[in-house]
Amino acid sequence: MPSDKKPNNETTYQQLDKRLLELTALFEISRSLSSSLNLRSILESFLRISMGHLLISRGIILLKKEEDNEFYVEELKGLPRTLLKKSLRIDSPPSYAVLTDEIKEDNKWIDFFREFEIKLIFPLTSSQGIIGIVGFGKKIGDIDFEEKEFEFLDSLSNIAASAVSNGLMVEEIQGVNNRLDRKIQQLNTIFDISRELNTTLDKKKIGSLLSFAIMGELLVNKCIVLIKEDKKFEVLIAKGVTPKLELNTKTCNIDQFVILEDSNKFDTLKESGFAIVVPMQIQNETKGLLAVGPKISGSHFDESDIEFLKTLGNQGMTSIENARLFDEMLEKQRLEEELNLARSIQQNLLPSTLPCPKGYEIAAINIPSKQVGGDYYDVIPISKHEFGIAIADVSGKGAGAALLMSNLQASLHALACSGMKISEMIARVNNLIHQNTAMDKYITFFYGVLDIHKHLFTYCNAGHNPPYKIDGSGKSTELMAGGIVLGMMPDMIYETAQVVLRPKDRIVFFTDGITESMDEKDEEFGEIRVKKLMLKYSDYSAQALLEKIVNETEHFRGKGPQTDDITLLVIKSVG
């Protein structure tokens, strides 16, 4: 009998020792896990202590993703490190410790564990449910797992689950903090760049500031800024790639970011090694594109990166648009200065006062349009009884037309008193204009000499609107004799003609600003209305007739704009 009791006592002591060892292991694991909030350290300690206690050669821990039933390898021992981060779908994870050989389901996740000789798996369960799965290989010596070891693993699971849950929470908080730090850094970058952008109106410099900020913040080696010009996007600045690139707006106009790897757009950019394209917008209208290459680290662009690119791109586009508007303002100021110069030239070329020949009335007016044209008129005293009468319309507008008019005026004043025949004088002026102007510049010109002693008007019409002479009986005559417009061809022959002026006869000279004035229905004032006004108001003085024609023209035009200069000159014989 004594011999029978001894083995029982020894067995009891062995069991107590083993139980004490398990409790010691659990205590050690609990103390080790609770001493750290670092998830990697918790998992590494958990595997090391538990595998050492159970004499296991390999172990693996998978943590659950936010998506349902998706797990990923987070820690392992005795297995290839290439398995780390491998994703595995487990539709029916075990709710307690179980041997893989006893699982009869035909699932890929079971095959995964069996492939890597994982013999035992059990869940890590927290108050939120299963947060992970632990797998162990066979014990050294290929000894079977005992029932009490399953109980040990259940206790171990409860201790580990709490520590792992805390570690995950801390890791999530750290992730949030990291994202916040990164967001603050990006906001600081945006603030600094915005301040820099506000100091320049140079579009190239703006593009350079943008590209350098993006490359430095996101750690990419390629960046290109494209600006919409007419029907295509043109390169403003390019870093890390050739700037010879154009994109058609029809195929590349976007309002959302595009990941080139997943898109069939922007093949040119994709072939050049770019990874993402972000629109640069003003008031939801895409005015430019921002393209960047892949990150040097190989990581993907996340939501924060894209938001950073959009914000910086829109800020940059606003600065570029401001620079464009500033350039337009400068150009407008330059044009205004040119127009003011042209107006000054034009007005200075017109006579400030008109002579008053005995027996005649002369009245004239020039009403410039908003744009400077090239209308010109003049009355030049040649002798005591002769007066040169001129009216002209220079092609084009602006300072160029005004300068061409000044050439005409200078030539006319130089030749009018030379005693030269009118036809010869006009031919010489034609050659001078032709030599000093381009083919698309010409002048319609009418010139005549009024002899108040002979009451004779000798004239030459070089392609100008023919003036109307109406006598006292109401008969009208168009003064057409002459030749082609000045400056079109050299060495042209011009003819002259004469008309006699009797009391109450009048001649009206005008430019096409009168006859081509349009009403709101796009109908022209026309020459017939000019003739009717001359007949209707034949008793009016030269000045009154001029004012009547101008007033009727303005009344006819109504609210429509004056698109051309209006020039009118009236001569009336009063006997």
**Whether 459 contacts 497, CB under 8 Å:** yes
**Whether 195 contacts 206, CB under 8 Å:** no
Please give the backbone phi and psi of residue 551, each rounded to the nearest 5 degrees, phi first: -65, -40
Residue 371 lies in a domain: yes
Residue 493 lies in a domain: yes
pLDDT at 335: 78
Q: How far is Cα 97 from Cα 357, in angstroms, rounded to an integer?
A: 126
pLDDT at 3: 45
Residue 272 lies in a domain: yes
DSSP 180-210: HHHHHHHHHHHHHHHHHHTT---HHHHHHHH
Same domain, 450 and 303: no
pLDDT at 307: 86
Residue 189 lies in a domain: no
**pLDDT tens per residue, range 217-240:** 888 888 988 888 877 888 888 888
Residue 467, amino acid: P
Same domain, 262 and 146: no
Same domain, 371 and 504: yes
User: Any idea what the CATH number is for the domain that residue 555 is in?
Assistant: 3.60.40.10
Same domain, 162 and 247: no
Please tell me whether residue 530 adopts helix, strand or coil conformation.
helix
**pLDDT tens per residue, range 52-96:** 878 888 999 999 887 678 899 999 999 999 999 898 888 888 888
Nearest to 323 by CA among 284, 293, 282, 289: 282
Give, for all 575 residues of the chain, the pLDDT tens digit: 344 444 455 566 555 556 666 666 666 666 666 656 677 887 888 888 788 878 888 999 999 887 678 899 999 999 999 999 898 888 888 888 888 888 876 677 888 888 899 998 988 888 778 888 999 999 888 888 888 778 777 777 777 777 777 777 777 776 666 666 666 776 676 677 777 777 777 888 888 888 888 888 888 888 988 888 877 888 888 888 776 666 666 656 777 888 888 888 888 888 888 899 999 888 888 888 888 999 888 888 888 888 888 888 888 888 888 888 888 888 888 878 877 777 777 777 889 899 999 999 999 999 887 666 678 999 999 999 999 999 999 887 767 777 788 888 889 999 998 889 999 999 999 999 888 887 778 899 999 999 999 999 999 999 999 999 998 888 889 999 999 999 989 999 999 999 999 999 999 999 988 988 888 888 889 888 988 998 888 889 999 999 999 999 999 988 878 878 889 999 999 87
User: Any idea what the CATH number is for the domain that residue 254 is in?
Assistant: 3.30.450.40
Residue 337 lies in a domain: no
Residue 523, amino acid: E
Measured in whole angstroms, the distance separating CA 293 from the mean position of its chain's CA atoms is: 21
Residue 121 lies in a domain: yes
Length reported for the chain: 575
Number of folded domains that form the chain: 3
Q: How far is Cα 110 from Cα 120, in angstroms, rounded to an integer?
A: 11
**Residues pairing with 379 in the sheet:** 389
Same domain, 318 and 389: no
Same domain, 391 and 269: no
Same domain, 445 and 511: yes
Cβ neighbours, 10 Å, residue 66: 5
**Residues pairing with 360 in the sheet:** 573
Reported pTM: 0.54
Nearest to 166 by CA among 54, 272, 39: 39
Strands (E), 350-487: 360-367, 375-381, 386-394, 443-451, 456-462, 468-470, 476-478, 482-483
**Residues pairing with 498 in the sheet:** 458
Residue 183 lies in a domain: no
Q: How far is Cα 416 from Cα 437, in angstroms, rounded to an integer?
A: 22
Same domain, 423 and 470: yes
Same domain, 126 and 203: no
Same domain, 258 and 305: yes
Same domain, 119 and 16: yes
Please tell me whether residue 461 adopts helix, strand or coil conformation.
strand
pLDDT at 19: 60
* Structural domain containing residue 320: 198-326
pLDDT at 13: 59
Question: Which residues lie closer than 8 Å to 111 by C-beta, 6 or more apart?
Answer: none
Please give the backbone phi and psi of residue 56, each rounded to the nearest 5 degrees, phi first: -115, 140
Same domain, 449 and 529: yes
